[in-house]
């Protein structure tokens, strides 16, 4: 039985969106997957009742404490041991759940990931990845999108390995093409970081390196499946894509394709390189986004990604 | 009499697009502005004749030599002294022309800018700026977009000054709001570079610093008129916007607003921080883009930007 912990108190629209999202996810989950809801039991049951959903299929860990978005992550983490995120990470660490998802405080999620679950041995810096929509059915994955704004070239190399494993085992892409986000297609182009990284990537045989990738190559699956960059650049790229989406909405463009750019609906951002599965949802997640976050978490657990990563870094 | 040099041999669609672009520009220029065309005189006259345009209003500097896109910029610059770009910079240096515009080799333009025209005293690193479309009539300006991928915080501070002067004197924005492109709105967010730059910006009184600016603030004039970043990040941001435009075209979105994202039509990218006015056009410039590049060059000259910059760095 696979168990997935869901933070019911986290996110701008919790607990309404998180409980309803859990109901929606439950309906799509196979019988061997159990959701473990962390939150105020009474509220959870009340919302489920209202939705005519039998909450007895869930395991509920009753706690009403929550780490707010404005709180200092590491302080709050130690001062509120009964808040949903610290409790979630304790369960994850103990093996009581196989994955944990929250649209609550990103900072607290990172504290739990780094302090409780810890990096896979050999990994210098875990990172977060997100899917980039493309003009085809295949999304590409970009990493890091914001955890590590200053990194060394060997950290980028590890992102290449992590991204490649994710693309292969979670997205089902065979021999994924890994590219380095850069400012020119030629080998000698770039800043000090990408130039050094290019050399490492070229010499490595740990993934299928296809060379440099430029900003104008984004939103297309022609060149690469995995796009590697530092967390500063990745964060700017991701947020620029969000800006496009807002512009598209503002201009009333009628094309459902562009809904792919609604990152608020995406299934969350997995923290890659730690010893278990933790997925961070967008703070303003609605019920659909919560559903997608839960399904995505199950998907990553089922893919056995953590074992594949451990193996690669052995 | 203001004189603007135009490279007729530079760009993917030269000399056809460059001559026709010069004709289109001439029709919009005031009587006190003369275009100086650098290129093959016979071809220029032939195209002008065909377009029933009297080429005698132009000064023509006859040279058919050209630095190709694939050539090594600094080598080609010295080995082809009669190519349009080296000749243009000689004229610019001597004062025979007041501004020089080319859609030819960007590398050769930079060589001319740095080796012949040279930086304004006190400027550590000249940069290039581009306009970012917004959801209003006011574009914002972003710099650097690609010259210096690795910079120090004090270089970013200078970009702030350069961008602010450009916004004030060329775009006519009073007390332009200058922001730092970063990965969070709070002061303590960022990478080592932007954190150090934030401190410098805050302590400076040389421009109107309005704080950090995130990727999702792009394409809106709500927060800032001038966006400062290093050349790596700026280049990725600009090219991502190009990718977005291609996507819009591919999806057949019918909204002329998005034509603002067609950077191929923009009026070129001024090199800021050098002792004269040099503007780099997009390689694939069509006649309209060439026209805009020429008009933009005139505009920068007329604004007296170089003197304002020299004054600021005195």
End-to-end CA distance of chain A: 28
Torsion angles phi and psi, residue A52, rounded to 5: 55, 40
A136 and A95 inside one domain: no
Torsion angles phi and psi, residue B87, rounded to 5: -65, -45
B142 and B230 inside one domain: yes
pTM score, two decimals? 0.94
Supply A203's token pair. Answer: 């010499």
Question: Tens digits of per-residue pLDDT, B230-259?
Answer: 999 999 999 999 999 989 988 888 888 888
**What stretches of chain A show up as alpha helix (H) in DSSP?**
16-28, 41-50, 73-79, 84-94, 106-111, 153-169, 192-203, 231-250, 287-302, 305-312
B140 and B108 inside one domain: no
| Whether the predicted pLDDT of B149 surpasses 80 | yes
B115 touches chain A (CB under 8 A): no
| Whether the predicted pLDDT of A48 surpasses 90 | yes
Whole-number Å distance between alpha carbons of B170 and B272: 12
What average pLDDT does range A277-293 have in this prediction?
93
A145 and A233 inside one domain: yes
- At residue B236, the pLDDT reads 97
The count of C-alpha atoms lying within 13 angstroms of the C-alpha of B250, restricted to the half-sphere facing its C-beta, is 13
Would you say residue A28 lies in a domain? yes
Mutation target for B interface from A191, A221, A282: give the one with most B CBs within 10 A.
Answer: A191
Would you say residue B309 lies in a domain? no
Q: Between B227 and A68, where is the model more confident?
A: B227
Would you say residue B241 lies in a domain? yes
B165 and B289 inside one domain: no
Confidence of residue A204 (pLDDT cuts 50, 70, 90): very high
Would you say residue B299 lies in a domain? yes
Question: Tens digits of per-residue pLDDT, B288-300?
Answer: 999 999 999 999 9
Which ipTM was obtained for this model? 0.93
B97 and B22 inside one domain: yes
Would you say residue A58 lies in a domain? yes
A202 and A278 inside one domain: no
Would you say residue B172 lies in a domain? yes
CATH classification at residue A36:
3.40.718.10
| Whether the predicted pLDDT of B189 surpasses 80 | yes
Say if the Cβ atoms of A183 and B135 lie within 8 Å.
no
- At residue B261, the pLDDT reads 84
The pLDDT mean for chain A works out to 94
Say if the Cβ atoms of B243 and A192 lie within 8 Å.
no
Mutation target for B interface from A236, A242, A283: give the one with most B CBs within 10 A.
Answer: A236
- At residue B191, the pLDDT reads 97
B239 and B288 inside one domain: no
Question: Tens digits of per-residue pLDDT, A83-121?
Answer: 999 999 999 999 999 999 999 999 999 999 999 999 999
- At residue A252, the pLDDT reads 86
Q: How many domains would you assign to chain A?
A: 2
Least confident interval from A5-19, B79-93, B132-146, B254-268:
B254-268
Would you say residue B314 lies in a domain? no
Say if the Cβ atoms of B183 and A258 lie within 8 Å.
no
| Whether the predicted pLDDT of B43 surpasses 90 | yes
- At residue A266, the pLDDT reads 79
A90 and A211 inside one domain: no
CA B65 to chain centre: 24
Whole-number Å distance between alpha carbons of B289 and B146: 20
B238 and B174 inside one domain: yes
B108 and B176 inside one domain: no
Cα A29 to Cα A2, A3, A92, distances in angstroms = 11, 11, 20
Contact list, B235 vs chain A (CB under 8 Å): 183, 215
Confidence of residue A255 (pLDDT cuts 50, 70, 90): confident
A201 and A82 inside one domain: no
Would you say residue A161 lies in a domain? yes
**Domain encompassing residue A135:** 124-265
Residues 206-235 of B with CB under 8 A from A: 214-220, 230-233, 235
């Amino acid at each position: 039985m696979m168990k997935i912990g869901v933070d019911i108190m986290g996110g701008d629209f919790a607990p309404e969106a998180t409980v309803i999202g859990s109901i929606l996810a439950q309906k799509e989950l196979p019988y061997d997957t159990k959701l473990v809801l962390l939150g105020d039991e009474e509220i959870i049951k009340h919302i489920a009742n209202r939705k005519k959903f039998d909450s007895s299929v869930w395991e509920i860990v009753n706690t009403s404490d929550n780490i707010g978005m404005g709180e200092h992550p590491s302080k709050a983490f130690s001062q509120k041991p009964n808040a949903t995120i610290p409790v979630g990470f304790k369960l994850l660490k103990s093996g009581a759940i196989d994955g944990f998802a929250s649209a609550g405080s990103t900072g607290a999620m990172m504290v739990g990931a780094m302090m409780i679950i810890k990096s896979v041995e050999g990994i210098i810096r875990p990172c977060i990845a997100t899917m980039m929509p493309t003009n085809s059915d295949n999304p590409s994955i970009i990493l890091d999108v914001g955890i590590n704004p200053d990194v060394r070239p060997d950290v980028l190399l590890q992102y290449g390995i992590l991204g490649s494993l994710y693309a292969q085992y979670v997205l089902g892409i065979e021999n994924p093409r890994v590219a380095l986000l850069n400012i020119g297609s030629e080998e000698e182009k770039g800043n000090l970081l990408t130039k050094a990284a290019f050399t490492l990537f070229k010499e490595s045989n740990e993934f299928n390196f296809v060379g440099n990738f430029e900003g104008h190559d984004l939103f297309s699956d022609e060149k690469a499946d995995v796009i590697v960059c530092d967390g500063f650049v990745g964060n700017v790229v991701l947020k620029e894509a969000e800006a496009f989406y807002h512009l598209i909405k503002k201009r009333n463009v009628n094309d459902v394709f562009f809904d792919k750019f609604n990152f608020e609906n995406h299934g969350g951002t997995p923290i890659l390189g730690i010893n278990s599965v933790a997925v961070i949802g967008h703070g303003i997640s609605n019920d659909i986004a919560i559903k997608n976050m839960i399904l995505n978490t199950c998907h990553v657990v089922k893919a056995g990604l953590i074992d594949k990563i451990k193996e690669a870094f052995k």
